[in-house]
């Protein structure tokens, strides 16, 4: 059985971020890719929706300029023929502040001919924001 597209894409993405070489993703992204990282784009401009390979390569570059990935653990994973979903836990450093950030994300991805066609990512941005602030947000408690 051939390797699932997810594993190849994941290796290339992490390498692209680590080495700041988004071009290693060139052959793994569909020309018309539909890419969304849900989150507060007014705070983190590299989140949000992107369409098309060139735009997505650019955002991968922006991510590599902003974070260093120390470690990730894939806590849940589901693989379909051309689809994949995971829940992952990341240990990062925000490069501008040198602050450690731990966050969890979930993604749903669709591939076509081994290239990423569609991805939706959900970040635990509360934690991200709190850790960027460096102190708890402390809103009122809800529920009993």
Which residues in this chain contact its own copies in the complex, by CB under 8 A? 38-40, 42-46, 62, 65-66, 75-76, 78, 80, 83-85, 87, 94, 96-97, 104-106, 108, 120, 122-129, 132-133, 137, 139-144
Q: Which two tokens stand for residue 113?
A: 């001919």
Report in angstroms how near the CB of residue 26 gets to its own copies at its nearest: 23
Report in angstroms how near the CB of residue 128 gets to its own copies at its nearest: 7
Report in angstroms how near the CB of residue 122 gets to its own copies at its nearest: 5
Select 86 or 115, whichever has its Cβ closest to its own copies: 86
Select 43 or 54, whichever has its Cβ closest to its own copies: 43
Determine the Cα–Cα distance for residues 49 and 71; give it in Å rounded to an integer. 25
Select 54 or 78, whichever has its Cβ closest to its own copies: 78
Helices 53-66, 5-19: axis angle to 10 degrees equals: 50
Report in angstroms how near the CB of residue 31 gets to its own copies at its nearest: 22
DSSP character at residue 124? -
Select 35 or 44, whichever has its Cβ closest to its own copies: 44
3-state secondary structure of 52: coil
The 29-38 sheet, strands edge to edge: 48-51, 29-38, 115-123, 99-112, 83-94, 67-79
Determine the Cα–Cα distance for residues 35 and 51; give it in Å rounded to an integer. 6
């Amino acid at each position: 059985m051939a390797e699932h597209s997810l594993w190849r894409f994941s290796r290339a993405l992490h390498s692209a971020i680590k080495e700041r070489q988004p071009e290693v993703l060139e052959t793994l992204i569909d020309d018309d890719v539909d890419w969304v990282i849900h989150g507060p784009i007014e705070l983190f401009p590299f989140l949000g929706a992107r369409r098309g390979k060139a735009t997505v390569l650019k955002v991968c570059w922006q991510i590599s300029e902003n974070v260093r990935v120390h470690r990730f653990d894939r806590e849940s994973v589901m693989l379909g023929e051309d689809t994949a979903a995971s829940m992952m836990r990341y240990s990062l450093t925000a490069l501008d502040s040198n602050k450690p950030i731990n966050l969890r994300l979930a993604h749903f991805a669709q591939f076509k001919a081994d290239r990423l066609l569609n991805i939706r990512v959900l970040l635990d941005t509360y934690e991200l924001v709190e850790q960027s602030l460096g102190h708890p947000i402390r809103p009122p408690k809800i529920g009993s």
